[in-house]
């Protein structure tokens, strides 16, 4: 019992690099530095006493006096555990703070002369007492909690006292027994998770009052957290629902964060909150967005729910609430833009200008929705763009082709994984304004299936009565579509549902003539392609003959889409030469084969001769008009009829009617009844893979049947269209303009139309009308009289034709169909 009580004296020193130890507990110390190992060895040979002193700078390896604080702790070595030579852990009991008077030796280890640290205080004893009591109360709360935790964990783990956390060794009674304020501070410190600097300050501070005050804030925090935890515990008692538990915990976490002033931790939520404040969204939308934010602030940012909520808020922010552009309702400027961007299309342009004029005069009126109908490549979409630019509005195009799912229009509910708003709301986001021009492309190709009816959703979008409050399933809050200007495009009207059609005003665009295509190519397509390929205007010219060749031999279409593609191909081929520095390049017709390859469409009119049983009909398709050959053959049989070439039901009925009419009028037409009874008839439409339907081939089918039975050939430069009835009338049909343009493209000279279709020819450009010989018929006989030539003088070749099971002369054999 010599030096255990007398503090002053000389002791081996262990400098501590990173740790700071305060008196009052037992704990382990890692010893690694050689000098420290020597010091421990010396102490264990003597009285096990040592002084530990924290370093001022942890980086110093061999500290001198100036590198050490002037206060340390006198400690007693309780146990030494050797890991390897020169590395061990000492369990120490830390006794009291000492003042380092001097280092009396530095080799082979540090030795310090120390003296007891006299407690000082500037405060009154009452103040010190009061503060001490306060600290004690807090510490009691903290210690109680630590013991409660220990109690519960010891139920689970073994009661191995060596694994106990040293700081939980204090009991409430022990705390209550600590009278000395400095000892109280030392006892409290391990519970407070203090930083090294705070611990060092507590170690070196001589003033008791200051030491007490220094730990009060941390103790207070610790006690608050404990109190809230206790509340949660009470609330959760008996509550088994996991979600409820989570909610309560998150609430508390937020409260704790608020109490600790850490509320603004989540920068992302704050950022979104600011954006919501700055956004022009309406109050109702803002409320929804804020609600999501407050949900987010209670969730872990890694949770899927958090991300769903964030995506939702971001989507809300991207919708251009209340952002609009000002309309430029200047009709003459609009006319200028339309004229500059599109050749021809006079009727359509006039209709668009009327539309804009009405907008100007009655801005509040919604006005009809324009539906531009026509074959591909006639400029429907690009007209929509021009309308947007002439109005000074933003332009968005949405393709509806093949949309089968209502959710594509209206969005998926947020409960779906990866849910997003539908195309309408996405379009608004893209436009960045609430009043863009929206081109809804291919509205005729909307399809319904079990995933809902997108056309029904479109009805709501386009209905001026309903679209003020359009509800997207994802967005959920109503979005105002009433300021959007919708323009729809379609290739055909048949597939558009009637209610949808009722909401729109149809503007028809038909295919272009060669002349019009030339003008479009010269004024628009070629300059555009030159620009896109970086070729100067004067560097490439295509002469008229070559351009016409491109139109006739490389494209066969109603619009100009392929023409644009071919011109792009010419530009590409020429680009190399331009890049190499060639001057002006002129393209003439003979060069096209080099640039574009051999012609793709050769008019077979030139090679065709009048033939028996082959008629040129005219077809209308959504992609424009086309010519269509009808072939007919007979061979010995039993009067059966075969129809092949993908005819639809209506066309089959037409063919049956044609055959019946011919049979009924056989005598008059000079056909032998026995020949009909003993022949099988095969009608085939080449291009067998393409479906064909409609009644308009009636007259042509009849001509073919008459031709084959009478052996009179049909003129090859004639095209025929018209429906028939059994009385032999030629009935009017649709699509006259497209059909006539197609006939002209194919090199036909004479076109037979039902008399009641004469009015439709007024739409046909004058130049075409000039070049075609129109014949109007009221009866089938009118066509027969002109189209069929005289019967050849050669004998009837029928007996030589192979029997019915063999392929027909053109190699097309179809299934046997009922006649
Ligand atoms: P659609 O929507 O009818 O299928 P697009 O609008 O896509 O056709 O037109 C195809 C291309 O042809 C576009 O580059 C367009 O500018 C051009 N085009 C079509 N018609 C005209 C025209 N009358 N004047 C100028 N360019 C035209």
User: Which residue stretches of 376-513 are H helix?
Assistant: 380-391, 406-410, 423-431, 454-462, 498-502
Considering only CA atoms, which residue is closest to atom 15 of ligand 1?
A: 379
> What is the model's pLDDT at position 166?
46
Q: How far is the CA of 161 from the centre of ligand 1 (A)?
A: 87
Considering only CA atoms, which residue is closest to atom 10 of ligand 1?
A: 377
Mutation choice for ligand 1 from 385, 401, 489, 560, CB with most ligand atoms inside 8 A: 560
Phi, psi (5° rounding) for residue 592? -60, -35
Using pLDDT thresholds of 50, 70 and 90, give the confidence band for residue 812.
very low
pLDDT surpassing 90 at residue 173 = no
> What is the model's pLDDT at position 797?
54
pLDDT surpassing 80 at residue 3 = no
pLDDT surpassing 60 at residue 802 = no
Rounded distance between C-alpha atoms, residue 341 and residue 267, angstroms: 49
Average pLDDT of the segment spanning 622-631? 84
Average pLDDT of the segment spanning 266-270? 78
Considering only CA atoms, which residue is closest to atom 27 of ligand 1?
A: 379
Q: Is the peptide bond before 108 cis (omega within 30 degrees of 0)?
A: yes
pLDDT surpassing 90 at residue 759 = yes
**Ligand 1 atom closest to the CA of 341, numbered from 1:** 25
Q: Contact at 8 Å (CB) between 75 and 44?
A: no
**Ligand 1 atom closest to the CA of 382, numbered from 1:** 6
> What is the model's pLDDT at position 160?
41
* 761 against 805, higher pLDDT: 761
- CB within 8 Å of 725: residues ≥ 6 apart: 657, 731
Least confident interval from 39-48, 73-82, 230-239, 300-309: 230-239
pLDDT more than 90, % of the chain: 29
Q: How far is the CA of 654 from the centre of ligand 1 (A)?
A: 36
> What is the model's pLDDT at position 634?
93
Residue 143 sits at the vertex; the CA angle it makes with 141 and 149, to the nearest 5 degrees, is 105
> What is the model's pLDDT at position 239?
55
- Residues with a catalytic annotation lie at 696, 739
**Ligand 1 atom closest to the CA of 489, numbered from 1:** 2
**Ligand 1 atom closest to the CA of 376, numbered from 1:** 4
Q: Contact at 8 Å (CB) between 281 and 322?
A: yes
pLDDT surpassing 90 at residue 791 = no
Considering only CA atoms, which residue is closest to atom 20 of ligand 1?
A: 379
Q: What does the pLDDT look like over 22-63, one tens digit per residue?
A: 998 888 888 888 888 889 888 988 888 999 999 988 888 888
**Ligand 1 atom closest to the CA of 384, numbered from 1:** 6
Mutation choice for ligand 1 from 338, 347, 348, 378, CB with most ligand atoms inside 8 A: 378
- Number of other CB atoms surrounding residue 189 within 10 Å: 25
Considering only CA atoms, which residue is closest to atom 22 of ligand 1?
A: 342
Q: Contact at 8 Å (CB) between 712 and 789?
A: yes
pLDDT surpassing 70 at residue 126 = yes
Q: What does the pLDDT look like over 742-758, one tens digit per residue?
A: 898 888 999 999 999 99
Q: How far is the CA of 736 from the centre of ligand 1 (A)?
A: 22
> What is the model's pLDDT at position 28?
87
Q: How far is the CA of 342 from the centre of ligand 1 (A)?
A: 8
Q: How far is the CA of 562 from the centre of ligand 1 (A)?
A: 11
pLDDT surpassing 50 at residue 804 = no
Closest C-alpha to 339, from 519, 508, 490:
519
Q: How far is the CA of 403 from the centre of ligand 1 (A)?
A: 23
List residues near ligand 1 (CB under 6 A). Answer: 342-345, 376-382, 489, 520, 524, 559-561, 564
**Ligand 1 atom closest to the CA of 441, numbered from 1:** 2
Q: Contact at 8 Å (CB) between 529 and 568?
A: yes
Rounded distance between C-alpha atoms, residue 205 and residue 193, angstroms: 18
Q: What does the pLDDT look like over 355-411, one tens digit per residue?
A: 888 877 887 777 678 899 998 999 999 999 998 888 889 999 998 887 888 888 888
Mutation choice for ligand 1 from 338, 377, 387, CB with most ligand atoms inside 8 A: 377
**Ligand 1 atom closest to the CA of 509, numbered from 1:** 3
Using pLDDT thresholds of 50, 70 and 90, give the confidence band for residue 262.
low
Q: How far is the CA of 682 from the centre of ligand 1 (A)?
A: 42
Rounded distance between C-alpha atoms, residue 757 and residue 762, angstroms: 10
Sequence-distant contacts of 447-452: CB under 8 A, at least 24 apart? 447/402, 447/403, 447/404, 448/404, 449/404, 449/405, 451/404, 451/405, 451/406, 451/407, 452/405, 452/406, 452/407
Q: Which strand (E) or helix (H) includes residue 674?
A: helix 673-677
Q: How far is the CA of 367 from the centre of ligand 1 (A)?
A: 25
Distance of CA 606 to the CA centre of its chain: 52
> What is the model's pLDDT at position 151?
55
Considering only CA atoms, which residue is closest to atom 19 of ligand 1?
A: 379
Rounded distance between C-alpha atoms, residue 441 and residue 461, angstroms: 14
Mean pLDDT of the chain: 83
In SS3 terms, 350-395 reads as HHHHHHHHHHHHCCCCCCCEEEEECCCCCCHHHHHHHHHHHHCCCE
Q: How far is the CA of 248 from the centre of ligand 1 (A)?
A: 62
> What is the model's pLDDT at position 299?
77
Considering only CA atoms, which residue is closest to atom 9 of ligand 1?
A: 379
> What is the model's pLDDT at position 216?
87
Q: How far is the CA of 381 from the centre of ligand 1 (A)?
A: 7
DSSP 143: H
Considering only CA atoms, which residue is closest to atom 6 of ligand 1?
A: 379
Considering only CA atoms, which residue is closest to atom 17 of ligand 1?
A: 379
Considering only CA atoms, which residue is closest to atom 18 of ligand 1?
A: 379
Q: What does the pLDDT look like over 531-587, one tens digit per residue?
A: 998 888 888 889 999 998 898 889 888 889 999 999 999 998 888 888 887 778 888
Considering only CA atoms, which residue is closest to atom 5 of ligand 1?
A: 379
DSSP 183-237: HHHHHHGGGG---HHHHHHHHH--BHHHHHHHHHHHHHHHHHHHHHHHHHHHHHT
* 327 against 73, higher pLDDT: 73
Q: How far is the CA of 387 from the centre of ligand 1 (A)?
A: 13
**Both structure tokens of 3:** 């030096």
Q: What does the buried/exposed string (b/e) look like for 706-729 if buried means 16 or more CB atoms within 10 Å of the residue's CB?
A: bbbbbbbbbbbbbbbbbbbeeebb
Average pLDDT of the segment spanning 778-787? 91
**Ligand 1 atom closest to the CA of 560, numbered from 1:** 12
**Ligand 1 atom closest to the CA of 385, numbered from 1:** 6
Q: How far is the CA of 745 from the centre of ligand 1 (A)?
A: 19
Q: How far is the CA of 493 from the centre of ligand 1 (A)?
A: 20
> What is the model's pLDDT at position 1?
39
Least confident interval from 113-122, 233-242, 374-383, 640-649: 233-242
Scanning the structure block, which residue is given the tokens 């030795």? 111
Q: Is the dihedral of CA 103, 105, 109, 115 positive or negative?
A: negative
**Both structure tokens of 579:** 């890049």
Q: Contact at 8 Å (CB) between 683 and 723?
A: no
Q: How far is the CA of 341 from the centre of ligand 1 (A)?
A: 9
> What is the model's pLDDT at position 808?
37
Mutation choice for ligand 1 from 349, 382, 624, CB with most ligand atoms inside 8 A: 382
């Amino acid at each position: 019992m010599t030096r255990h009580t007398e503090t002053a004296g000389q002791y081996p020193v262990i400098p501590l690099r990173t740790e700071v130890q305060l008196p009052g507990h037992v704990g382990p110390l890692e010893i690694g530095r050689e000098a420290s190992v020597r010091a421990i060895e010396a102490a264990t040979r003597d009285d096990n006493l040592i002084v530990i002193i924290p370093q001022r700078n942890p980086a110093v390896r061999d500290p001198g006096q100036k590198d050490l604080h002037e206060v340390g702790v006198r400690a007693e070595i309780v146990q030494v555990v050797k890991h390897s030579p020169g590395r061990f852990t000492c369990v120490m009991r830390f006794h009291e703070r000492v003042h380092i008077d001097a280092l009396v030796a530095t080799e082979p280890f540090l030795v310090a002369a120390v003296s007891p640290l006299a407690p000082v205080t500037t405060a009154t004893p009452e103040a010190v007492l009061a503060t001490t009591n306060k600290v004690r109360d807090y510490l009691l709360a903290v210690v109680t909690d630590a013991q409660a935790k220990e109690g519960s964990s010891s139920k689970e783990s073994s009661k191995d006292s060596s694994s106990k956390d040293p700081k939980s060794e204090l009991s409430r009674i022990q705390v209550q027994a600590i009278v000395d304020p400095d000892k109280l501070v030392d006892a409290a410190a391990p519970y407070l998770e203090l930083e090294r600097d705070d611990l060092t300050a507590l170690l070196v501070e001589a003033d008791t009052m200051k030491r007490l005050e220094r730990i009060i804030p941390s103790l207070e925090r610790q006690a608050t957290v404990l109190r809230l935890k206790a509340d949660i515990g009470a609330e959760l008692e008996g509550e088994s629902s996991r979600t409820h538990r989570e909610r309560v915990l998150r609430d508390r976490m937020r409260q704790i964060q608020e109490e600790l002033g850490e509320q603004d931790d989540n920068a992302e939520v704050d950022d979104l909150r600011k954006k919501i404040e700055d956004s022009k969204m309406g109050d109702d939308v803002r409320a929804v967005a804020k609600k999501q934010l407050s949900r987010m602030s209670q969730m872990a940012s890694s949770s899927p729910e958090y991300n769903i909520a964030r995506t939702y808020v971001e989507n809300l922010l991207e919708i251009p609430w209340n952002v609009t552009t000002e309309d430029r309702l200047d009709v003459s400027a609009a006319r200028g833009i339309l004229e500059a961007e599109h050749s021809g299309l006079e009727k359509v342009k006039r209709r668009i200008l009327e539309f804009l004029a009405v907008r100007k005069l009655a801005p509040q009126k919604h006005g009809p929705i324009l539906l531009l109908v026509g074959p591909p490549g006639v400029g429907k979409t690009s007209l929509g763009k021009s309308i947007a630019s002439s109005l000074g509005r933003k332009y968005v195009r949405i393709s509806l082709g093949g949309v089968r799912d209502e959710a594509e229009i209206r969005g998926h509910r947020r409960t779906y994984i990866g849910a997003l708003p539908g195309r309408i709301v996405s379009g608004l986001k893209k436009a960045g304004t609430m009043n863009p021009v929206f081109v809804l492309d291919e509205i005729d190709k909307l399809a319904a299936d079990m995933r809902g009816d997108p056309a029904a959703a479109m009805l709501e979008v386009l209905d001026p009565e309903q679209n003020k409050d359009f509800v997207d399933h994802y967005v959920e809050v109503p979005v105002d579509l009433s300021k959007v200007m919708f323009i729809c495009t379609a290739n055909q009207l048949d597939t558009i549902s009637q209610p949808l059609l009722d909401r729109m005003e149809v503007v028809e665009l038909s295919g272009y003539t060669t002349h019009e295509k030339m003008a479009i190519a010269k004024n628009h397509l070629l300059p555009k392609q030159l620009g896109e390929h970086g070729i100067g205007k004067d560097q490439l010219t295509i002469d008229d003959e070559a351009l016409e060749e491109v139109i006739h031999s490389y494209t066969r279409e109603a619009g100009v889409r392929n023409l644009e593609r071919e011109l792009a191909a010419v530009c590409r081929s020429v680009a190399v030469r331009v890049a190499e520095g060639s001057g002006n390049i002129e393209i003439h017709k003979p060069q096209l084969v080099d640039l574009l390859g051999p012609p793709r469409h050769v008019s077979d009119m030139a090679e065709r001769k009048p033939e028996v049983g082959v008629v040129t009909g005219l077809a209308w398709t959504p992609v424009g008009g086309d010519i269509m050959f009808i072939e007919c053959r007979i061979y010995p049989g039993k009067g059966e009829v075969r129809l092949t070439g993908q005819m639809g039901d209506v066309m089959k009925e037409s063919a049956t009617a044609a055959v019946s009419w011919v049979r009924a009028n056989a005598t008059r037409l000079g056909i032998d009844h026995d020949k009909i009874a003993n022949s099988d008839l095969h009608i085939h439409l080449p291009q067998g893979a393409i479906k064909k339907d409609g009644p308009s081939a009636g007259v042509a089918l009849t001509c073919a049947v008459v031709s084959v039975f009478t052996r009179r050939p049909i003129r090859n430069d004639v095209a025929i269209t018209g429906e028939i009835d059994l009385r032999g009338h030629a009935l009017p049909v649709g699509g006259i303009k497209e059909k006539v343009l197609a006939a002209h493209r194919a090199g036909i000279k004479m076109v037979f139309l039902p008399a009641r279709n004469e009015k439709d020819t007024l739409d046909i450009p004058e130049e075409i009308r000039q070049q075609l010989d129109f014949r109007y018929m009221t009866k089938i006989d009118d066509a027969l009289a002109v189209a069929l030539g005289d019967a050849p003088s050669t004998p009837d070749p029928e007996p030589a034709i192979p029997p019915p099971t063999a392929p027909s002369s053109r190699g097309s054999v179809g299934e046997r169909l009922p006649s």
